Amino acid sequence: MSPRSKANRCKGAPVFGLSGSRLFEPGHWPKCRDRFISTAKDFEVPFSAVLREAATKYSSIAIDDEIIGGTPRIAGTRIPVYMVLDAVEYYGDLEGALKSYPQLSLEQVKEAVGFAGAVLEHPVDYEPETSIG
């Protein structure tokens, strides 16, 4: 066990080896667990807000409620970002997506991947809007 993980372990929490046994006994999470999770996200943020915020960073990505139901897409097309990502996964590289969508540029494919990363890595310092009244 690394010194860092040992320091983050809750006092009194059971320690198990790598033999496949459980990390904690069923139904008994250490009460101090939340104190050590540094990657906690604010899950109260509306997903649409995360998508729209990420889209502002990528000029090749557009979101319009009137076009394919507001699904993030490559600007000027009806090609959803998720379809570009599927093509990248299928072919194993960015250039492979161009085989499926030859009308796209490599830069547009890169922006689709970057957009997806920005959505998944949404910052934790998001301040939800408060209503007055």
Pair (81, 64) in one structural domain? yes
Pair (102, 55) in one structural domain? yes
- Strand segments, DSSP code E, in 11-118 are 61-62, 73-74
Does residue 113 register a pLDDT over 80?
yes
What are the two backbone dihedrals, phi and then psi, of residue 2, each rounded to the nearest 5 degrees?
A: -75, 155
Total domains in the chain come to: 2
Pair (24, 63) in one structural domain? no
Listed residue (27, 26, 31) closest to 13, CA to CA: 31
Q: Residue 5: which domain range?
A: 1-39
Pair (67, 105) in one structural domain? yes
Beta bridge partners of 62: 73
Single pTM value for the model = 0.61
**What's the pLDDT score for residue 72?**
96
Domain holding 88: CATH number? 1.10.10.10
**What's the pLDDT score for residue 5?**
46
**What's the pLDDT score for residue 48?**
86
Any domain includes 125: no
Listed residue (28, 25, 30) closest to 9, CA to CA: 30
Q: Tell me the average pLDDT across 9-27.
A: 48
Pair (66, 115) in one structural domain? yes
Any domain includes 106: yes
Pair (77, 95) in one structural domain? yes
Does residue 127 register a pLDDT over 60?
no
Task: Give the CA radius of gyration of the chain.
Answer: 21
Does residue 115 register a pLDDT over 80?
yes
122 vs 104 pLDDT, higher one: 104
